[in-house]
Amino acid sequence: MYFRFILWMLLGQLAHVTYGQTATSVEPKIDQVFQAFAQQDDFQGAVLVGQADKVLYQQAFGLANREWDIANTVDTKFNLASISKQFTAAIVMQLVEEGRLKLNQTISDYYPQYRKDVGKQVTLHQLLTHQSGIPNYTSLPFVWSDSLYRKYSREELVTKFASGDLEFKPGSQYQYNNSGYLILSTIIEKVTGKSFGEVFEARITQPLKLQFTGVDDRQKIIAQRASGYAKIAAGYENVYSMYMQNLQGAGNLYGTVGDLYQWGQALFGEKLLSQKLVDQMTRPYTDVNQQWIPPYDNRYGYGLGVAKISLPDQQPATMVFHSGHIRGFSGFFAYYPTEKYTIIILSNTGEVSTARMNLINLEVVQILNKAFTQKAAPKTSTKRKFKKERPVATKDVNQERDLEKAMIAAWEAGGAEAALQQYHVLLESFPYDYPDTQVILSRFAQKLLKEKDRDGALAVAELNSRSNPHWRTFTELAALQQQAGDKGQAAQYYQRAISINPNQTEEEQRAFQDAQQALKILL
């Protein structure tokens, strides 16, 4: 399989990336988006925007180390969290291309030590697409606060945490699952006879010359690696260092925005895999009713999500992407195959929501479309092309894990501040267990308003608009500000709601008109 790498290196194409822009108006406009992001959200991290083989914009914000007041740079190394999954999937596909793995074969075919009653039922395809039915080990109680900090051997980790009874028939449902990628990384080790780190270096970082990417190890000294932080009321605090090998295959890599961009150029440029296998990776396999991250029309491929993006006054676009969240780090990687845009956001704080990063991504895409394509959506059609946004039901959880019940109990005991603290604790401990926080926070804000805790309702609505930037959340916040008598803030949030409302469905059109009417009264 290495002839592709050798040919590419002889041609001298890999290491050469053109830095610049083809439209002089692009860079300052993109900079405005990210400067506002940094100012409004206190964003800490680095970003990059590219089109084809040109880097149009890259910038860093905030601090890599707060004790020494060291700034982030575009060469700062961040934990990639679940963005790591696409690398695991690509290695699997390399082994498929070489005939060493088959996607329709089972765990037991390659990992005979795994429990056979489950291993004989689950295929590699089902592991890659989160349809295995194996319990997600990072959703087990206390795993984030305790177990992930302990040093386990790979066999101990899989046996203890990723070998539970099936929760559903393999292939019948979708449920985001880190266990699958841990098992895939172990299968890679079994088939190659090498550690995952050795395989990753030999197949990814060395041939692609990714000098600033590697397997994260919090015990090692890694130059230019950012420290991870959590936001608290008083500012920031350090996060505890976990044993990163416990997240192997699912979220244990680090990298820079530049290396991640170069990775995307290689993956989608047929320099790592044939186009046929890249197409397999980026095909949506999950059912249309099994969204990965609501409310976007998106489904899951192999280590990557595939989304249909609706843009105001522009043609819809297909986005291949993945987000990542772990204690102290957040990230977002997006590639647009038709337009060849790449947008990367990496942060050394864990609270930057996927919804917020996606909204920033969409703002940038609209700027790029105006500069490079100038494709406007047909004005004659008001019919929405994508299915209506809706909350997605989550799996049943016990009471201490029920987000809404936990917040209500905390509010009854200590007020809104305690409720918000409980929210952050649960979201940090179980980052993929609560896909419908927008609905939960909206409902909780209304409850506090009925209980005459207006300040608490405002605080919850503000959190909702930051975590889930949507015309609904901005409208709700604007209405609460209006009730509180703050006309300036109310007008500002009504304007933001109008600016991102697609104004296509009846509900959107009605909300758009109501917000415009409210603005007339306020202004």
Residue 202: pLDDT band with limits 50, 70, 90: very high
CA distance 357 to 439: 19
Instruction: Give residue 252's pLDDT.
Output: 95
Instruction: Give residue 325's pLDDT.
Output: 92
Q: 424 versus 460: which is more confidently predicted?
A: 460
Average pLDDT of the residues of the chain: 85
Q: 127 versus 500: which is more confidently predicted?
A: 127
Residue 120: pLDDT band with limits 50, 70, 90: very high
Instruction: Give residue 472's pLDDT.
Output: 92
pLDDT tens, 500-521? 888 888 888 899 899 888 888 8
Residue 457: pLDDT band with limits 50, 70, 90: very high
User: Over 60: is that where the pLDDT of 329 sits?
Assistant: yes
Given a contact cutoff of 8 angstroms between Cβ atoms, the answer to whether 344 and 48 are in contact is: yes
User: Over 80: is that where the pLDDT of 5 sits?
Assistant: no
Given a contact cutoff of 8 angstroms between Cβ atoms, the answer to whether 391 and 294 are in contact is: yes
Instruction: Give residue 160's pLDDT.
Output: 85
User: Over 90: is that where the pLDDT of 382 sits?
Assistant: no
CB burial string 88-102: b at 16+ within 10 A, e below: bbbbbbbbbbeeebe
267-296: average pLDDT? 81
Residue 392: pLDDT band with limits 50, 70, 90: very low
pLDDT tens, 78-100? 999 999 999 999 999 999 999 99
User: Over 70: is that where the pLDDT of 352 sits?
Assistant: yes
pLDDT tens, 159-174? 888 889 999 999 999 8
What SS3 class is residue 170?
coil
User: Over 80: is that where the pLDDT of 24 sits?
Assistant: no
Distances (CA, A) of 443 to 247, 446, 460, 470: 34, 5, 10, 15
> 42: alpha, beta or left, given left = phi > 0 and alpha = psi -120 to 50?
left
The pLDDT > 70 percentage for the chain reads: 85
Q: What is the DSSP string of 200-257?
A: HIIIIIHHHT-TT-EE--TTS--TTBPPPEEEETTEEEEPPPP-GGGGTTTS-EEE-H
Residue 36: pLDDT band with limits 50, 70, 90: very high
Alpha helices in 12-128, H assignment, sequence order: 26-41, 85-97, 107-110, 116-119, 124-128
- Phi, then psi, of 129 in degrees rounded to 5: -100, 10
Instruction: Give residue 417's pLDDT.
Output: 84
CA distance 361 to 344: 8
The pLDDT > 90 percentage for the chain reads: 54
Name the least confident of 69-78, 91-100, 316-325. Answer: 316-325
Positive or negative CA dihedral for 206, 324, 318, 48? negative
Residue 38: pLDDT band with limits 50, 70, 90: very high
488-511: average pLDDT? 87
Distances (CA, A) of 8 to 2, 96, 196, 209, 266: 10, 21, 24, 12, 10
User: Over 70: is that where the pLDDT of 490 sits?
Assistant: yes
Instruction: Give residue 391's pLDDT.
Output: 32
115-125: average pLDDT? 96
CB burial string 281-312: b at 16+ within 10 A, e below: bbebbbeeeebbbbbbbbbbbbbbbbbbbbbe
322-329: average pLDDT? 92
> To the nearest 10°, the Cα dihedral for 220, 221, 225, 228?
60
| Beta strands across the sheet bearing 214-215 | 78-79, 253-255, 214-215
User: Over 60: is that where the pLDDT of 380 sits?
Assistant: no
Among 210, 216, 204, which residue's Cα sits nearest to residue 79? 216
201-205: average pLDDT? 97
Residue 275 CB coordination number (10 Å): 10
Residue 431: pLDDT band with limits 50, 70, 90: low
Instruction: Give residue 497's pLDDT.
Output: 87
Q: 456 versus 409: which is more confidently predicted?
A: 456
370-396: average pLDDT? 44
Among 410, 122, 173, 205, which residue's Cα sits nearest to residue 286? 173
User: Over 70: is that where the pLDDT of 296 sits?
Assistant: no
Looking at residue 140, the DSSP 8-state letter turns out to be S
Instruction: Give residue 420's pLDDT.
Output: 86
Among 436, 511, 423, 422, which residue's Cα sits nearest to residue 474? 511
CA distance 433 to 395: 8
